[in-house]
Each structure stands twice: as structure tokens, then as C-alpha cells.
């Protein structure tokens, strides 16, 4: 009976390592630097600074919403939480915003315009992915 338990445990470990890949712990691996700036030495001995994580230019974000829309409110919370600046257009209060909404092919609210990309509906992962893409 114990042999069967050991065999089943071994099989489950093999399956888990197949799904997730082997886990290696190397205590000698140095920690990642706290700063995003790295200093590189050139061939002549002078030090050059290179910024690894340079900030990308911010994309313009415009949202077309209504006051009664639950997902529109959730969208605004998401944008504020992630410190994303945006222009807000209420399509029921502003006739020009409604006209632009229709021109863009809006089918429902919220309609999010990130740069040149349009996203219909509230999809946090898609919104953040598009905003953070190149």
C-alpha cells in the first residue's frame, strides 16, 4: 500500500514539473538592482550611464461614457488607480461627443480610445495592455 502511495506521489510530482517546468533555486544569483539606471564602462575607462527603463511617451486616452453606466464608473476607477490621464466625454450631455462617438463606430459604452486604437466595452487587461504597449 505504501509503494502505491509513493508511486502516485512521484507521478504527481512529474506531472506538476511537466506543467510548470522545473524549479531551480540558486542562492548565488545576485539580486536585481533597485534602480533602473545602470552604469557601463566603455573601452577607454570612462563611465557612461544608460537608462534601462526609459519612460515611453504617454498615449492620449479618451473615454466615451454615460453617467448611469456601471462599467464606465469602473473604467474611471481603473484609470485613476493606474494614474492614467484621460479625457472624459459624456455622450448624453455633450452633442459633439455623441457625434464623435458615432463617427468612431461606437456601439455601446464605454468606448475607449488609446492613441489610435479603439476598445469597445470594459476589459481591464486589454486596456492596460494597449496603454502600456509600444
Q: Over the stretch 1-28, which tens digit does the pLDDT of each residue have? A: 666 766 666 665 555 444 444 444 444 4
If one compares 57 and 116, the residue with the highest pLDDT of the two is 116
Say if residue 91's pLDDT is above 70: yes
On whether the 61-132 domain is CATH 3.40.30.10, my answer is yes
**What is the rounded CA–CA span in Å between residue 78 and residue 80?**
6
- Give the β-pairing of 117-120 and 111-114: antiparallel
Determine the pLDDT at residue 2.
Answer: 66
* Domain residue ranges in the chain: 61-132
Amino acid at each position: 500500500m505504501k509503494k502505491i502511495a509513493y508511486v502516485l506521489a512521484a507521478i504527481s510530482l512529474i506531472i506538476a514539473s511537466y506543467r510548470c517546468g522545473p524549479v531551480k533555486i540558486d542562492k548565488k544569483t545576485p539580486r536585481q538592482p533597485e534602480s533602473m539606471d545602470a552604469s557601463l564602462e566603455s573601452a577607454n575607462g570612462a563611465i557612461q550611464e544608460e537608462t534601462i527603463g526609459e519612460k515611453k511617451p504617454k498615449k492620449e486616452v479618451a473615454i466615451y461614457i454615460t453617467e448611469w453606466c456601471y462599467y464606465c464608473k469602473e473604467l474611471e476607477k481603473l484609470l485613476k488607480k493606474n494614474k492614467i490621464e484621460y479625457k472624459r466625454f459624456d455622450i448624453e450631455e455633450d452633442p459633439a461627443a455623441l457625434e464623435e462617438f458615432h463617427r468612431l463606430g461606437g456601439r455601446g459604452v464605454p468606448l475607449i480610445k488609446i492613441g489610435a486604437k479603439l476598445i469597445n466595452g470594459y476589459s481591464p487587461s486589454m486596456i492596460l495592455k494597449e496603454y502600456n504597449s509600444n
